[in-house]
Amino acid sequence: MKYEKNQYSESFSVCTLIIAGAFLYWGISSLIQWDGWLWWGFISTGIGTAILVSQILAITNRSKLRSVVLADFQENPEATVELVSKSTGITAKDIQAIILDLKASGQLRAKFNSKTGQVKHLLTEEKEPTPGERASYCSNCGTPITKESAQYCAYCGGKI
């Protein structure tokens, strides 16, 4: 699997799918009419197909990246985002996006230590912040940061 910088967070786009659909519609409608612009129908259909194939490949590659990061966290139960980034070669930005996706799908049930950034696996209940605790939010995922001494987010592992 070949990885490029920020490939996970920036590779797939719904707008790109819409553009591919427009090219395909334009190309196929030109081919059906068999007018004088027949050659343009082949070109725009080819462009639309190339864009669509690239988006399908981006989706499959995202799934591979998720499985690599999940396996790395399962192998090393005290990993941090930085350690996983160094061991896999995936940027910290992409790892944080992958963590959020894994947690949303229920594949990764863990929290991160707010002081060290290390993973705590298999947490089943969420602690509600008490009124006396700090109520700032993580800039990466929006989770409330409740401890004054926190240097890492307990939900996504991002640096505060």
Q: What's this model's pTM, rounded to 2 decimal places?
A: 0.62
Tens digits of residue pLDDT in 69-123 = 888 888 887 888 899 889 888 988 889 889 888 888 888 888 888 888 887 754 4
- Structural domains counted in the chain: 1
Model confidence at 25, in pLDDT bands (50, 70, 90)? very high
Q: The domain containing residue 59 runs over which residues? A: 7-108
Does 132 reside within a domain?
Answer: no
Model confidence at 133, in pLDDT bands (50, 70, 90)? very low
Residue type, 137: Y
Does 158 reside within a domain?
Answer: no
Q: Which of 49-53, 91-95, 121-125, 153-157 has the highest mean pLDDT?
A: 49-53
CA dist., res. 49 & res. 80, Å (int): 40
Q: Are 61 and 54 in contact (CB under 8 A)?
A: no
Does 118 reside within a domain?
Answer: no
Phi, psi of 159, deg, nearest 5: -70, 140
The alpha carbon of 136 is separated from its chain's Cα centroid by a whole number of angstroms, namely 24
Does 101 reside within a domain?
Answer: yes
Signed CA dihedral, 69, 73, 75, 76: sign only: positive
Could you give the percent of the chain with pLDDT greater than 90? 14
Does 134 reside within a domain?
Answer: no
Q: Are 17 and 53 in contact (CB under 8 A)?
A: no
Does 130 reside within a domain?
Answer: no
More confidently predicted of 62 and 52: 52
Does 138 reside within a domain?
Answer: no
Does 154 reside within a domain?
Answer: no
